Structure formats: structure tokens, C-alpha cells
Structure 1
Amino acid sequence: MRTLATALALLTLTAVPVAAQGLSKAEKVIDRTVDAEFERSVALLARLVDQNSGTLNLDGVTRVGEMMRAELEPLGFTISWKPMGAVQRAGHLIAVHKGKPGGKRILLIGHLDTVFELSSPFQKFVRTGDKAEGPGAGDDKGGMVVIVSALRAMQAAGTLKGANIEIVLTGDEEDAGSPLSVSRADLIAAGKRADVALDFEGLVIDGGKDMGSIARRSVTDWRITASGKTGHSSLIFTSQFGDGAINELARILAAFRKELPEPNLTFNAGVIAGGARAEIDESGNAKAGGKTNIIAATAVATGDFRTLSVEQTERVRAKMEAIVAAHAPGTDARIEFGEGYPAMAPTEGNKALLTALNGVNRDLGLEEMAPLDPLKRGAGDVSFVAHDVDSLAGLGTYSAGDHAPGETVDLASIRRQAKRAAILVTRLSAGRTARK
């Protein structure tokens, strides 16, 4: 891990108290520019939302990438498109802005795709005052609009010119292509080049207050397949036939509930099927058949578990394997794990970034942001770089009902999030946390 935490701490200690300083002249331009271009930002959001970019709509994801290219190139970014046909996905947009040699390298992360495929009836941007509904209006097209709004404001203030910024907009965040070693290679490489990573997925509000995301939990999929000796139901639990596949699976899931719980861990069985024959396909569709008087031969369950560190993932995985291996009489079972998203642990460097953001908040007259409980948000792309670089998440818009028809974005959140991001990036690029 780099020494950004130490640098930020020293800068915070040696600077004049932030509350007494206010915004610099350039930062005041940023503040005014974001407000002046608000309707332009909303218009961009409408265009992005109206272009369907469900993860599996490869053409739609590519078109959204072209729309973002059109916004970023005039700001001085060099754009490249990384096709992901090898993993049956559209690709990623990577934008690079070269600033002052030797300056801090800042990585901005977002994603082009949404969960709403072409088959979804939820397809259009509809504005009602300061709210707007639409597929991906918050997750993550709102976040991409915040990026553009912040960069435009920096350009107007003259602070973009010296900034070293790399933007990675993945095309498959909602359903990553496999293997992840291919689909996330470019993002991981960008993280290794960076000094700071800022993720523009949605802002979380808890208890009426904006929260800072210094941690995100991992997610690992699992599948359990249990088998048993089939026969007449009158012979269940005998030494000859044993417990049957369904009872074996029930034993395993009950043991998970009893033995696995620990802080920051959640685990879930999402789909289950059992009988004389049973299967669950890759899309989560289950089929099963049998009779009440036949001992089940097969039972299958799929689910996931989420942790806050690599160490916790390994520990929980080992516990699950041990539970599965303790077979009931006359049965067998195996557990398989998917690739999964890693955790973004709450490091000291991440905490220092939130401290820097709270310096921006004070100067903008906004409330301080407390660290968000990582149980209150899911996994995300920033976790692929968090092991290598100090990271902060949740810099996108505030929205409600994400991943479901009716997803609604709070348009006013574009303003405060773009101001926060632009001033934070400006200060980090200058190697400080507050105006001297």
C-alpha cells in the first residue's frame, strides 16, 4: 500500500484549520460552474439513460461508450476502447489526461452498463422536478455524469490542465465477463498505476446524512450439489438408504446458519431445487421433479457470501467446506465457488481520503460525511484496485430503487457530488488536502 495516508495526515496537521480557509479562487469557479451547467448535466443524463446498455446488449454498451468519448475528448482526454469479445462482453472505455509530470495519478472508476436489458419494459428517462426515473439513472449513468460535470468545472477553473487523471468505465460491472483475470485486467493495471482511486457508483444516505464509503464487501458465489440413495420413501433414514439428498442439503444450510455468523459477514441461499432429478442453470432457473414417496436423489442450491477482507473470505470458505464435508448417512455433497469480487477493506489510506473529502465538505458548507457501514452497500469494481491503491467509493449520484423498474435519481445530488469530486481531485492533484 502506498504512503498516501501518511502524506495526507501530515498535510492536514500542518495546514491552517480548514474551516477558516473557505474555497480558493479556482475552487469558487468550480462551485459556480457546476451550478451554471446543471441543466446541461441533466440533459446528458437523459441521453445516456435513453440509450439502453444492459450488460448483454453489447451494441448498446458500445454506444454509451461512444457518447462518453464525445464528452471526454474535448476535455483533453485520450480515449481507447478495449474490446471484451473474449469474455462475451462489449468492452471498456479508458480515458487518459496527462498533466504535470510527477503529479499524483488519480483513477476515476465508473461503468457503462446497467441491469436493464432490451427485454425490460423500463427503458426511458422521465423527469419530475428534481427527480428522474430511468434505467441506470443512478447506477451508474448518474455517476458518469458527475465525472463529466466535475471535469468541466475543473477545466473552467484551470485546474484540469495539470491533473494526471485516468478514467476506466467498465462495460460489464453488473455482470462481469469470465474469467475476471481477463475482464478486469485493464482496471487492475490502472489501479497499479494510480496514487488514488475514486469510485463513482452511487452515494449512500443513511439517517438523512451523506455517507463516505471507505469499504465495500466482497461477493463470492457458491453452488452445493447433494446426492443420496433413491428408493421408496418408507425406507428413509435406514442404514440401507440414509437421509436422502434433500435432507443432506437442509443439514448443510442449517449448519451454515448456526456456525458461520460473524461480524461483517452475510451469506444467502438464493435458489434451491431437489427431487428425483434437479438442476439450476447459469441464469438461476431451477427445474425439479419427483414424487412424495421417492427419496430424493439430487438437491442443488446456489447463493453467495460477502466479507470485508481476503482473510475473512478464506476463513469463511474453509468453514463452509468443512460443513459440507460432514455428510449425513448415505449421502454425498460438494461445494463449488465462483470467482467473486474481492473486498475493499477499510484501510488507513481510505480513511485519510475521507478526511480530505471532509475538508472539501467544510469549505463547501456541507456536513461532514461519516464512514458508511460496509454492510449497507454491495460489491463493486473499485475493489479490484483497493488492494493496490488508497480508494474512496460512493462519489456518484444519490438514487433509490436501483436495479428495479422505477429506479429514481435525485438530480440535485449531481451538484454536490460534482463539486466534491472536482475540488477533491484539484487538491489531490496539487498534493494537498486544503487550500493554503
Structure 2
Amino acid sequence: MLTRHLLAPAALIAALVLPAPLLAAPPSKAEQVMIATVDAEQARHLALLEKLVNQNSGTRNVKGVRAVHDMLVPEFEALGFTVRWVDQSAVGRAGHFIAEHKGKKGTKRLLLIGHLDTVFELDHPFQKFERISADKVKGPGAADDKGGVIAMLAALRAMHKAGTLKDANIEIVLTGDEEEAGLPLSIARADLIAAGKRADAALDFEGLSQEDGKDMGSIARRSAGNWKVTVTARSGHSSGIFSERAGEGAIYPLAQILAAFRKELPEPNLTFNVGMVAGGASASIAASGANAEATGKTNIIPGVAVAMGDVRALTRESIQRTEAKMREIVARPFNGGTATLVFEDKYPPMAPTEGNRALLAKLNGVNATLGLPEMAALDPLKRGAGDVSFVAADVDSLVGLGPASEGDHTAAETVDVPSLWRQAKRAALLMTRLSREPAVKR
């Protein structure tokens, strides 16, 4: 069992001295073509990014989301994809862009995920693309996720130029409501979930995460769900509060419930935020969840108190434990009223599976070929929920093949342009290599 340590002296010295990228096989002829193509088409893809960004596609701008779809259709059809539009008017959203490229039978089917919409609606002041410098561009959705779509397209065009796209089996789903999904999710995400069940590997083209200037690989994302606690109690004159007859009102019990959440719920990779609280003689939170109303006076015992927030967890089991504990806390008795909990489980978690780790290892094989540093796995606490989570239970998945950026979801959303080309090269080589592997399920 000692043979694994018995390296020849020269090999041992090489293993200690040479950086990992130098030990990797150099890029093949086709890979060289892909790398060169991404570099040669930078101006073309920046111009297309500008066009996409200048078309507003806030989630609720149905016409704008469809317009971005229409801009992309000829780009993908020119590469041999069959494109279809899946209308989502039934859930109050525009629809989804779905494209399919049929390749060699018996090889892996890849699912590429992105989205057409942004958080910036028509009434937002941030509407235009801006070139800040050779390495920085700014605009609504320039990174999230129009930059990701450009990275995807640049990679596919490079594969097409090198001849490696011809045999690749690829399905693309660009949702039109990633930033604010239509409800019910059973309808809004039905096509994405079905695509995940058909796939052998899923690659998500949302933004690249970085730590201390280093590119990171994302093999996990936490869930996103909402909760709402409503306390109703007897109201009356404040002089009677805490008595057996009057009770303690609604606000004190709600405060006790929230304090119990903070003390009793914590576990690794779990967060639970209180986003809004209202209480008084009357109180309510709008259906949109964006504002609340309350009435009352200092001398009136509050009859209603309501709080809402979110829960984010890494596994389904963690979500189940958390919901069960929240329900137990809310059910605890208090003087003069009752409390109810509504728990809304929305985006599922993407757990860090061995299959996901294997995909990151293959991406690091690409990094070695490109002479780039190895990418470590990102802490899932540092990444929010996303569409890939709807397929992660069915297929090995990798997140973060879009560009690096800063200020996402704000009027300072800025893309690091060199990362866009770096990501396109990574994606082109990774998709080519994966597409040549045998299918693992059908």
C-alpha cells in the first residue's frame, strides 16, 4: 500500500514545483479554435449585450421580455437550434425562451439555464447601457442575466466555429420571470423541471462569484421561502392590559414568537429574516408584500400584529425541520389570543452533491487547459436562490457561468468585461467535453 508514495525523483520534483496548469494537456485543435473565436468576436457580443440591455425587460414588462426573446431567436437559430416560446400569461408573466439542438444519439444531454427578465421595471430610472472603460460596462441586467446569456451565446458560437456543436445535444431554457416568478410555480416552472428530467448535466449562466479576486465554482444554492405570522388578540383600553380579562394584546406575543425564532431555529446554512412587522388596533400587510398599514393609539391594546420574512436553507430536510419548529413555537399558548403561521416554500434548495462536485472537477480540468487557477467551491451562504434549483434534484448541476459583476439589482450594476470572455471559453470547452460523454439516463 506504499506504492502511491513511490514517485521517481524527477517526477516528485515536477509535482512539487510545476503549477497545475502546466501539467495539463494543451488545448486540442478544436479548443484552440474555440478560444480564438471568443476573442475574435468580443466586439460583436458587446454590441449585442448593449442592444439587449437597452431593451427594458423588467419581469412585469410582458412586451419587453418578449422583445428580448425576439432578439435572441435569430442568434440561436443560426446555430441550428429550434426555438419555441412558452406563453406564461396564465401566471401573469410573459413567457419562456426554449431552444433545442439535436446532436449525436447516446451522448449527454446538456441543459443551459438563464433568464430574459431583470429587476428593473419601466418606471425605474436605470434604463441604459453605458461603456465605462475597456474593462467595465454598466446597465440594467448587464450582468443579471443578459451578460450570462451573452456568455452562453459566445460559447455556443465558438463551438459552432470549431465544429463541436454539431454532435452536441443541448436544451436551453431562458425563463421570463426569474426575478419574480409567476404563481403557481407548478405552472411557471413546469417546462424547466421537465427539461431537467431530460438532462444529464445542467449549467446555469447566472453570474460568476469571486472571493478576494479569485473565481469561485458554485455547486450549491440555498432555498428561498416565505413565512407570515399573524397574532389576533382582544383589544380594549390600555389600563387593563396584562389582566386575565384583557390579556396582553397582540404585539407582545408576536415579539415573543420572533425572539423564539431567533433563539431556537439556528442551524448550519440556515437563515431566517424578519422583513416587515406591523401591529395595532388594526394591521395588515399588502398582498404584494411590499408595504403594510396599521392604526392604533397608545391607550388601545393592539388587537392585531403581523410579521413576515423569508427562510433560506441548503437541504429539504433543513426546511422541514425549520417549518416544524416554527409551527411549534407559534402554537404556544398566551393570554388573550391566538397566532397562526403561513409557510410558503418557493425556490427549492440545490444541495452540494457528489455529482455537482464532479462537474466542478471537470470545469477545473478546463481551467488547467486554459492556464487558469483552480476554482474552489463557493460557500452556499454567499449565493441566493435561482432557477437551477428547480432541476438540481434531478440532474448534476453547476452554477455561475455568467460574468463577474458588482452592484447587481442596483443602478450600479457593472460587468467585468474580461470575465465575460473567460467564462465563454470555459463554457465552450466544458460543454464540448461533456457533450462527448455517454448519456447517463434516458
Quickly name the TM-score band, shorter chain normalised: over 0.9
Report the equivalent of 1:258.
Answer: 263
C-alpha deviation, 1:282, in angstroms:
2.3
Count of aligned pairs between the two proteins: 417
Instruction: State the distance in 2 between where 1:219 and 1:407 align.
Output: 23
Within the alignment, does 1:142 sit opposite 2:143 as a pair? no
C-alpha deviation, 1:350, in angstroms:
0.1
Q: 1:106-145 CA distances to partner (integer Å, 9 max, x unpaired)? A: 0000000000000100000001111111111111000000
C-alpha deviation, 1:416, in angstroms:
0.5
Asked whether the 8 Å contact 1:18–1:359 carries over to 2, the reply is no
Report the equivalent of 1:65.
Answer: 69
The SS at the match of 2:206 is coil
Report the equivalent of 1:157.
Answer: 162
TM-score by length of 2: 0.93
Report the equivalent of 2:94.
Answer: 90
Asked whether the 8 Å contact 1:81–1:94 carries over to 2, the reply is yes
Instruction: State the distance in 2 between where 1:331 and 1:200 align.
Output: 49
Instruction: State the distance in 2 between where 1:62 and 1:18 align.
Output: 46
Q: 1:368-395 CA distances to partner (integer Å, 9 max, x unpaired)? A: 0000000001000000000000000011
Quick one: which amino acid aligns to residue 52 of structure 2? L
C-alpha deviation, 1:101, in angstroms:
1.2
The SS at the match of 2:38 is helix
Match of 2:127 among 102, 114, 123: 123
Report the equivalent of 2:53.
Answer: 49
The SS at the match of 2:215 is strand
Instruction: State the distance in 1 between where 2:364 and 2:412 align.
Output: 32
Report the equivalent of 1:195.
Answer: 200
Within the alignment, does 1:279 sit opposite 2:284 as a pair? yes
Asked whether the 8 Å contact 2:277–2:307 carries over to 1, the reply is yes
The SS at the match of 2:53 is helix
Q: 1:183-208 CA distances to partner (integer Å, 9 max, x unpaired)? A: 00000000000000000011100122
Report the equivalent of 1:379.
Answer: 385
Match of 2:80 among 63, 67, 76: 76
Within the alignment, does 1:184 sit opposite 2:189 as a pair? yes
Within the alignment, does 1:246 sit opposite 2:278 as a pair? no
Instruction: State the distance in 1 between where 2:25 and 2:410 align.
Output: 43
Instruction: State the distance in 2 between where 1:163 and 1:282 align.
Output: 45
- After superposition, residues 350-369 of structure 1 pair within 5 angstroms as 350-369=356-375
Report the equivalent of 2:112.
Answer: 108
Structure 2, unpaired ranges of 5+: 1-20
Within the alignment, does 1:329 sit opposite 2:335 as a pair? yes
The SS at the match of 2:351 is coil
Instruction: State the distance in 1 between where 2:141 and 2:156 align.
Output: 21
Quick one: which amino acid aligns to residue 266 of structure 1? T
Instruction: State the distance in 1 between where 2:22 and 2:98 align.
Output: 34
Report the equivalent of 2:417.
Answer: 411
TM-score by length of 1: 0.94
Runs of 4+ in 1 over 4 A off after TM superposition: none
Asked whether the 8 Å contact 1:180–1:339 carries over to 2, the reply is no
Instruction: State the distance in 1 between where 2:50 and 2:389 align.
Output: 29
Match of 2:407 among 383, 386, 401: 401
Instruction: State the distance in 2 between where 1:363 and 1:304 align.
Output: 42
Instruction: State the distance in 2 between where 1:52 and 1:172 align.
Output: 13
Comparing 403-412 with 253-262, which one deviates more in the overlay?
A: 403-412
Instruction: State the distance in 1 between where 2:302 and 2:355 align.
Output: 52
C-alpha deviation, 1:85, in angstroms:
0.7
Asked whether the 8 Å contact 1:107–1:165 carries over to 2, the reply is yes
C-alpha deviation, 1:19, in angstroms:
2.8
Instruction: State the distance in 1 between where 2:89 and 2:277 align.
Output: 32
C-alpha deviation, 1:18, in angstroms:
8.6
Asked whether the 8 Å contact 1:210–1:369 carries over to 2, the reply is yes
Quick one: which amino acid aligns to residue 138 of structure 1? A
C-alpha deviation, 1:41, in angstroms:
1.1
Q: State the percentage of identical aligned residues.
A: 65
Q: 1:46-90 CA distances to partner (integer Å, 9 max, x unpaired)? A: 011000000000000000111111210101000000000110000
Instruction: State the distance in 2 between where 1:183 and 1:20 align.
Output: 43
C-alpha deviation, 1:237, in angstroms:
1.3
Match of 1:269 among 271, 274, 283: 274
The SS at the match of 2:123 is coil
Report the equivalent of 1:211.
Answer: 216
- After superposition, residues 334-353 of structure 1 pair within 5 angstroms as 334-353=340-359
The SS at the match of 2:301 is coil
Instruction: State the distance in 2 between where 1:398 and 1:287 align.
Output: 40
* C-alpha RMSD over aligned residues: 1.3
The structure having more radius of gyration, on CA atoms, is 2
Match of 1:27 among 28, 31, 37: 31
The SS at the match of 2:171 is strand
Asked whether the 8 Å contact 2:101–2:170 carries over to 1, the reply is yes
Q: 1:145-185 CA distances to partner (integer Å, 9 max, x unpaired)? A: 00100000001111000100000000000000000000000
Instruction: State the distance in 2 between where 1:18 and 1:243 align.
Output: 71
The SS at the match of 1:75 is coil
Distance 1:223-1:127 versus aligned 2 partners, 3 A rule: same
C-alpha deviation, 1:20, in angstroms:
3.4
Quick one: which amino acid aligns to residue 375 of structure 1? L
Distance 1:386-1:235 versus aligned 2 partners, 3 A rule: same
Structure 1, unpaired ranges of 5+: 1-16
Asked whether the 8 Å contact 2:22–2:371 carries over to 1, the reply is no
The SS at the match of 1:351 is helix
Within the alignment, does 1:236 sit opposite 2:237 as a pair? no
Quick one: which amino acid aligns to residue 367 of structure 2? N
Instruction: State the distance in 2 between where 1:267 and 1:320 align.
Output: 11
Instruction: State the distance in 2 between where 1:18 and 1:383 align.
Output: 35
C-alpha deviation, 1:339, in angstroms:
3.8
